[in-house]
Amino acid sequence: IASSDAVMWRDICINNPDQIIKHIEGYQESLSSIAHLIKNNQPEELEKLFSDAKSARDNWLKN
Protein backbone atom coordinates (compact mmCIF):
# COMPACT_ATOMS: atom_id res chain seq x y z
CA ILE A 1 0.00 0.00 0.00
CA ALA A 2 2.79 2.42 0.89
CA SER A 3 4.24 2.10 -2.61
CA SER A 4 0.86 2.51 -4.27
CA ASP A 5 -1.02 5.57 -5.39
CA ALA A 6 -2.21 7.55 -2.36
CA VAL A 7 -5.30 8.90 -4.15
CA MET A 8 -6.41 5.38 -5.07
CA TRP A 9 -6.12 4.15 -1.48
CA ARG A 10 -7.83 7.28 -0.18
CA ASP A 11 -10.73 6.57 -2.51
CA ILE A 12 -10.88 2.91 -1.52
CA CYS A 13 -11.10 3.89 2.16
CA ILE A 14 -13.66 6.65 1.57
CA ASN A 15 -15.88 4.43 -0.57
CA ASN A 16 -15.70 1.32 1.66
CA PRO A 17 -15.55 2.65 5.23
CA ASP A 18 -17.56 -0.12 6.91
CA GLN A 19 -15.51 -2.93 5.40
CA ILE A 20 -12.18 -1.15 5.95
CA ILE A 21 -12.99 -0.39 9.61
CA LYS A 22 -14.22 -3.96 10.19
CA HIS A 23 -10.94 -5.39 8.93
CA ILE A 24 -8.79 -2.88 10.82
CA GLU A 25 -10.62 -3.66 14.06
CA GLY A 26 -10.25 -7.40 13.47
CA TYR A 27 -6.53 -6.94 12.88
CA GLN A 28 -6.25 -4.88 16.08
CA GLU A 29 -7.98 -7.67 18.02
CA SER A 30 -5.59 -10.24 16.60
CA LEU A 31 -2.57 -8.13 17.51
CA SER A 32 -3.93 -7.58 21.02
CA SER A 33 -4.39 -11.33 21.48
CA ILE A 34 -0.81 -12.00 20.38
CA ALA A 35 0.50 -9.23 22.64
CA HIS A 36 -1.43 -10.74 25.56
CA LEU A 37 0.11 -14.17 24.96
CA ILE A 38 3.60 -12.67 24.76
CA LYS A 39 3.16 -10.48 27.87
CA ASN A 40 1.81 -13.42 29.85
CA ASN A 41 4.57 -15.78 28.74
CA GLN A 42 2.29 -18.36 27.10
CA PRO A 43 4.60 -20.16 24.66
CA GLU A 44 2.32 -23.15 24.05
CA GLU A 45 -0.58 -20.89 23.10
CA LEU A 46 1.68 -18.81 20.82
CA GLU A 47 2.93 -21.95 19.11
CA LYS A 48 -0.64 -23.18 18.58
CA LEU A 49 -1.72 -19.81 17.20
CA PHE A 50 1.18 -19.73 14.72
CA SER A 51 0.72 -23.40 13.81
CA ASP A 52 -3.00 -22.88 13.16
CA ALA A 53 -2.24 -19.79 11.07
CA LYS A 54 0.28 -21.74 8.98
CA SER A 55 -2.20 -24.57 8.45
CA ALA A 56 -4.91 -22.12 7.39
CA ARG A 57 -2.57 -20.42 4.93
CA ASP A 58 -1.28 -23.72 3.55
CA ASN A 59 -4.86 -24.93 3.00
CA TRP A 60 -5.80 -21.63 1.35
CA LEU A 61 -2.84 -21.93 -1.03
CA LYS A 62 -3.84 -25.48 -2.00
CA ASN A 63 -7.25 -24.29 -3.07
Domain assignment present for 23 = yes
Does pLDDT of 2 surpass 90? no
Domain assignment present for 1 = no
Which has more confidence, 2 or 11?
11
Structure letter (DSSP) for residue 3: T
Nearest to 34 by CA among 44, 49, 19: 49
> Which domain covers residue 25, as residue numbers?
6-62
Number of structural domains (the chain) is 1
pLDDT in tens, 8-63: 999 999 999 999 999 999 999 999 999 999 999 999 999 999 999 999 999 999 98
The distance from CA 40 to its chain's CA centroid, rounded to whole angstroms, is 21
Vertex 2 angle, CA 33 and 14, to 5°? 80
Domain assignment present for 56 = yes
pTM of the entire predicted model: 0.75
Domain assignment present for 53 = yes
What residues have CB less than 8 Å from 24, skipping those under 6 apart?
none
At 63 the pLDDT is 86
